[in-house]
Structure 1
Amino acid sequence: MSSFFTLPASQKKRKRSQPQPKRGSTTKRSASKDDESISGSDASDDNTPGRAVEDGGSESEEDDDDLEGEDVGSKRIRLAEQYLANTQKEVLDGAGFDAADVDEDNLRRRMGDRLKEDTAESKGKLYRWMAVDFDWSQAQSRVLRSQSIQKCLTGVALQGVQVYAVSKDMHLVKWQQPEAEDGVKGRRPSKKWKVVASTRGNRKRRNAQHHHASILCVAASQDGKFVATGGADNKLIVWDAASLKPLKVFMHHRDSVTALAFRRGTNQLFSASKDRTVKIWSLDELAYVETLFGHQDEVVDVSALGQEKCVTAGARDRTARLWKVVEESQLVFRGGGAPGTSKALETLRRAYADDSGVEMEDSTAYHEGSIDRIAMIDEDMFITASDNGSLSLWNINKKKAVYTLPLAHGLDPALPLEQASAEQEPDDTLGEKGRGGKQPRWITALTTIPFSDVVLTGSWDGYVRAWKISEDRRRIEPLGVVGAIGESVDRLLEKEGLSSDSVSKGALEAMRYGANDDKKIHGVINDLAVVENGDRGKESVLIAAAIGKEHRLGRWKQVLDGRNHVVLLDVSRKTPESDGEESNVVEQDGGTEDGNFEGFD
């Protein structure tokens, strides 16, 4: 028995019924009049005899003559313009502007700007030129301490208003800035920061759910759910961010876990280890995913952004590697050279003219022994820091560094002869130019603000230093120290009622050093983290620095007067009065910071 479902396709088609004309009708409407008719318009039957128009009169013969030759497209445009004009008149003659409509309009505009930023970020290009908009020298500082921490801090992480820090005595401490009295979260560091949770391992009583050796690194997920720590006991532990209770302990690494990085916007985690591998984890499932092989020495740092790839630093194999996880491939970038110093050092001398803690020499080229730090700027550029004090800018399309800046944190003073030699009567050749001579300070901490031109570094010279990427993406330029400028010498002289002519040059130097000494950071800056306050840094930038008396991976560098704590630096945007410029917008070939984004079409 045939049915609709068994009939051939040609018989399934239903014929459209044609309307039957009325009996006695002798006229047919032409196809052109069918096209010209517009449903719902008052003028659709304007050629019908005897039809009255809205103004109460009949149309003039001139209008009929003008519209007689009008085509379909022109008529539709005319009617649309007429409709818009009538609608605008009704709005203006009505109750005026509606506040709800205005708010909705503003929200739509902000969402449009956010969409542009997200689109530019998804393309993986640097699109925020914000370095010159901040007053780096006038940053406000605050020290966070915990009485339980007695040894060197090795890592720090920021998530919202939470600060997580780890130390060599197996402490994981969480500070939080509570809401202010008016219900608005504070934006600047204050005395309200307090320890809200902490946990500690034990070397003698080994707990399977905790570290039993030094914790070397920490990372916090962007959604605020997870905190991950890695230690010298080969453990990677995932904690609940709210309570600091252990969720999962991984023992997959065969040596110390030295660095951790979350993939931006996800809970995918990358871990680097001294066993020369990089491992990938999915914290949503608390599961191991994959291992990446290739480095010939310890992997001491890792960095990642939004795409499924990461960059790593291989210490004394002097390579940086880009891992393309999806393509199962890697790119190798080799360092190890001694950079040319003349132009770069001259730039640094001008930038550090008032900084007595930095000494420069251009007679010696210091070769790179290891690449210790790495950070991604965007999906195509990253930056590395080395033990010879140099910063190198890399592009993934080139095997050699695009630009290398030497001696970013200056030179350590020469050792006394009795420390440079074990002999009772050391040779004078061990002095300034010998083995006891001046040596570059390693860059021990490095971070960036993703997809922006801001780079931050740390060493043991007492300062966090800010840098920017040039507009042509081919140079690294100094912005100065962060929060290390105290009262100016002129202000101090004014307080004492003195003039600069009446004070010797040595006294001026001592006053300048004393003014800045209160702002110095005493110790080795082992790690840096940064978070933006407001809508993508519209208000300020908060920097956290983990400070210790010694290096995070060893004891070969110790600062006798160092301290073990966290330093918070809050950097505000410049005001027109402090900036002295009409505008802070940096023009780029893709637009300006205020609205257009490079890489967004």
Structure 2
Amino acid sequence: MWIRGSGMATSGSFLIRKKKAAEGRGRKRKAEGDEDKAHKKLTRKLNEEISSDSETESVGHNKKDVEVLEIEETAQEKKLRLAKLYLEQLRREEEEKVEEEQFESDLIGGRLEEEVLEQKGKLKRLLAKDYLPPDVSEIRLLRGHQLPVTCLVLSPDDKYIFSASKDCSIIKWDVTCGKKVHTIHGGRKGTEDRHVGHTMHILSMAISSDGKYLATGDRNKLILIWDPATCQHLYTFKGHKDAVSGLSFRKGTHQLYSASHDRSVKVWNVDQNAYVETLFGHQDAITGLDSLSRERCVTAGGRDRTVRVWKIVEEAQLVFHGHESSIDCIQLINEEYMISGADDGSLALWTVTKKKPLVTVRKAHGIHGDPGIQQPNWITSVAALLNSDLVASGSQDSKIRLWKCGEGFKTLEPLFDIPMVGFVNCLKFSNSGDFLVAGVGQEHRLGRWWRLKEAKNGICIIPLKKTQTKEQSGDSK
């Protein structure tokens, strides 16, 4: 019994072990099958991602896609990809840097070229085409002088206007608000010994390029030097034998040139409060004078009908003929070109290399008078925007006219007119070219031939409008 029972037990144990082994093999096959299924599923998923790669580029990867790619990408591949991205970023930054440096280099090169041309006196910026007629409602009239304004200047920073009049007064104006900053009152004739200021009509005015000195000249043969900041009197220059009709500081210096009805030009050193020399040559009263950086000046000779360029160092003068009547005003455009106006209504454009005008515009401001006795409106003032092709002229025909110096500075083309009632005795462009200042009066600055009762004695500030260039419109955006 015991032996048989033992055999049955042994047989049962064997069957149990065999069953467990079979179950173990089944579980192993199932696990392998599950792994195969998972592998196939992952492979299928990756194939789907690869096949739809163009779509993911347009709409972006979602979170699951990124996880799958991270599973697929090894650490080495990730380093390589990041390195390529970094190198691409460096390349783009380097290209942008090179472009910026090239742009700055072009700007600096352009500025240096302009500076060289300006020093040579040959800079010609073509700006006239950008200007538009101003809005008449924006023109401001500053009232303060009792008699016609005869001359004016602008401070180098365009913040202040200094004006003078036949009432012998000098007024300093604030351009922004149009208010008086200071007034130097005129005195009566014969009170020169006790009055600090002018006692006869002021005809000319100049300010140094650094704004340190202001000079004014009058019919009493005197030149007075002032501190523009405080309007305090500094010096008085005597020497001319007739009215001082023109004044100009040499740009960048305190050397002062003066012109007079005594037909002479004098040179002064304002720093040393000293007279330097006298230049002779004109055959009639000098009516206008101007200068720039070179040690020379240009003058209008009135009824001797000549324009003269005085070479101070060489002790020589160049004589130019062209106008057929008295030349009343002159202005340098740059060291090579100049503009002049005469009482026969002609406007002339000159170059220092030719003795005749490049172009002369007859009756530039029209004519006046009854039929049969009509006469041209004489040119009472001219102005030029320094180193550009824009010039202006004034008369008594109720308008200021702006002109463009045509191609090669061989023509004068009218741009537009600005309404202005009265004698336009002086004109000045701001250094920035943003506005034009006119000194207006009921009478001509040099005499009382006739009077315009409807005119107002004062200063007119005329804002100048410009067309918006592509660069400006890009900046505004």
TM-superposition CA deviations, 1:397-439 (whole Å, max 9, x none): 222222111011101131xxxxxxxxxxxxxxxxx22xxx111
Q: Is the 8 A contact 2:134 2:465 kept in 1?
A: no
Query: Secondary structure, in 3 states, of the residue corresponding to 1:230?
Result: strand
Q: Is the 8 A contact 2:134 2:463 kept in 1?
A: no
Say whether 1:286 aligns with 2:262: no
Q: 1:239 to 1:404 in 2, by over 3 A?
A: same
Q: 1:283 to 1:97 in 2, by over 3 A?
A: farther
Asked which structure has the greater CA Rg, the reply is: 2
State the shift of 1:472 in Å.
Answer: 2.4
Match of 2:165 in 1: 167
Match of 2:122 in 1: 125
Q: 1:101 to 1:399 in 2, by over 3 A?
A: closer
User: Unpaired segments of 5 or more residues in structure 1?
Assistant: 1-88, 179-191, 337-367, 415-431, 483-519, 577-581, 585-601
Match of 2:428 in 1: 529
Q: Is the 8 A contact 2:187 2:195 kept in 1?
A: no
Match of 1:264 in 2: 251
1:370 pairs with one of 326, 333, 348: 326
Q: Is the 8 A contact 1:270 1:278 kept in 2?
A: yes
Match of 2:199 in 1: 212
Q: Is the 8 A contact 1:375 1:446 kept in 2?
A: yes
Please give the alpha-carbon distance, in whole angstroms, between the structure 1 residues aligned to 2:131 and 2:403: 12
Query: Secondary structure, in 3 states, of the residue corresponding to 1:285?
Result: coil
TM-superposition CA deviations, 1:166-205 (whole Å, max 9, x none): 0111110000145xxxxxxxxxxxxx22111110121153
Amino acid at match of 1:193: G
Please give the alpha-carbon distance, in whole angstroms, between the structure 1 residues aligned to 2:101 and 2:139: 39
2:113 pairs with one of 113, 116, 122: 116
Q: Is the 8 A contact 1:137 1:480 kept in 2?
A: no
Please give the alpha-carbon distance, in whole angstroms, between the structure 2 residues aligned to 1:123 and 1:295: 27
Query: Secondary structure, in 3 states, of the residue corresponding to 1:307?
Result: coil
Q: How does 1:431-510 map to 2 (within 5 A)?
A: 432-433=371-372, 437-482=373-418
State the shift of 1:129 in Å.
Answer: 0.7
User: Unpaired segments of 5 or more residues in structure 2?
Assistant: 1-85, 473-477
Q: Is the 8 A contact 1:304 1:311 kept in 2?
A: yes
TM-superposition CA deviations, 1:279-323 (whole Å, max 9, x none): 122223332222111001101101112211111001011111011
State the shift of 1:573 in Å.
Answer: 1.4
Please give the alpha-carbon distance, in whole angstroms, between the structure 1 residues aligned to 2:95 and 2:275: 55
Match of 2:230 in 1: 243
Please give the alpha-carbon distance, in whole angstroms, between the structure 1 residues aligned to 2:304 and 2:408: 30
Please give the alpha-carbon distance, in whole angstroms, between the structure 1 residues aligned to 2:313 and 2:87: 58
Q: Is the 8 A contact 2:219 2:243 kept in 1?
A: yes
Q: How does 1:406-417 map to 2 (within 5 A)?
A: 406-414=362-370
TM-superposition CA deviations, 1:207-253 (whole Å, max 9, x none): 36421111111112221111110001111011000111111100111
Query: Secondary structure, in 3 states, of the residue corresponding to 2:118?
Result: helix
Query: Secondary structure, in 3 states, of the residue corresponding to 1:456?
Result: strand
1:223 pairs with one of 210, 215, 226: 210
Q: How does 1:8-19 map to 2 (within 5 A)?
A: none
Please give the alpha-carbon distance, in whole angstroms, between the structure 2 residues aligned to 1:333 and 1:122: 24
1:199 pairs with one of 149, 172, 184: 184
Match of 2:345 in 1: 389
Q: Is the 8 A contact 1:231 1:257 kept in 2?
A: yes
Match of 2:455 in 1: 562
Q: 1:172 to 1:327 in 2, by over 3 A?
A: same
Match of 2:70 in 1: none
Q: How does 1:75-114 map to 2 (within 5 A)?
A: 93=90, 110-114=107-111
Amino acid at match of 1:154: T
Please give the alpha-carbon distance, in whole angstroms, between the structure 2 residues aligned to 1:234 and 1:99: 64
Q: Is the 8 A contact 1:305 1:450 kept in 2?
A: no
More helix by share: 2
Please give the alpha-carbon distance, in whole angstroms, between the structure 2 residues aligned to 1:527 and 1:122: 27
Q: How many residues of Structure 1 are paired with residues of Structure 2 in the alignment? A: 382
1:400 pairs with one of 356, 376, 399: 356
Q: How does 1:114-193 map to 2 (within 5 A)?
A: 114-138=111-135, 140-146=138-144, 149-159=145-155, 160-177=158-175, 192-193=177-178
Question: How many percent of aligned residue pairs carry the same amino acid?
Answer: 39
